[in-house]
């Protein structure tokens, strides 16, 4: 069985709403059938459809609770950990950096040095930051990633190394 976090990552809010609506619709359908069975004198049919009605009603209410929890998780997660705080070309964008600084007071995190190495003055602050970043991340790529991730041009580590001109 999947954990709530795994489930919330896979299923978006619109899908949860669709499932909730389906359960409510099925509950009403079984309630009507139970009433029809009762009018016809079929007690077994009535009991069966009432059980199904209860089942779908409870499932719909559970989905409502999950939808609210998913919304709370989205609001609680800082932007630098979500897609909206990450740059498509690798690293964090301004919103991501701002949310990181807010969550980590005193942080000196700043934007990537995207200037070409030939345009940087040797020994300058930007050149030293770039050199340090490239050395650190290249080491991480060798030791801490799988062969598949290391070769994938769309992996976050390869995107960031390209962005920093490593």
CA distances from 162 to 89, 154, 157 (A): 8, 10, 9
Tell me: pLDDT of 2 over 60. no
DSSP 85: G
Looking at the whole model, is its pTM more than 0.75? no
Percent of the chain with pLDDT over 90: 31
Say if CB 76 and CB 5 are below 8 A apart.
no
More confident call, 68 vs 57: 57
Cα–Cα distance between 18 and 28 in angstroms, integer? 16
List beta partners, residue 5.
none
Cα–Cα distance between 113 and 164 in angstroms, integer? 6
Percent of the chain with pLDDT over 70: 84
Q: Over range 52-70, report the average pLDDT.
A: 73
Judged by DSSP in three states, 92 sits in: strand
The per-residue b/e assignment along 113-125, b for 16 or more CB within 10 angstroms, e otherwise, is beeeeeebeeeee
Q: Over range 31-48, report the average pLDDT.
A: 85
The 10s digit of each residue's pLDDT in 125-162 is: 999 999 999 999 999 888 888 889 999 999 989 999 99
């Amino acid at each position: 069985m999947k954990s709530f976090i795994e489930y919330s990552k896979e299923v978006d809010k619109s899908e949860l709403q669709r499932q909730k609506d389906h359960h409510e619709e099925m509950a009403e359908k079984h309630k009507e059938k139970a009433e029809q069975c009762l009018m016809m004198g079929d007690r077994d049919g009535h009991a069966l459809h009432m059980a199904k009605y209860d089942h779908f009603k409870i499932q719909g209410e559970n989905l409502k609770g999950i939808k609210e929890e998913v919304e709370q998780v989205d609001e609680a997660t800082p932007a630098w950990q979500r897609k909206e705080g990450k740059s498509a070309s690798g690293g964090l964008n301004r919103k991501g950096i701002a949310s990181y600084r807010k969550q980590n007071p005193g942080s000196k995190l700043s934007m990537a040095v995207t200037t070409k190495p030939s345009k940087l003055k040797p020994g300058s602050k930007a050149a030293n930051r770039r050199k340090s970043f490239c050395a650190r991340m290249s080491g991480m790529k060798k030791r801490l990633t799988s062969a598949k991730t290391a070769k994938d041009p769309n992996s976050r580590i390869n995107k960031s190394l390209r962005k920093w001109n490593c």
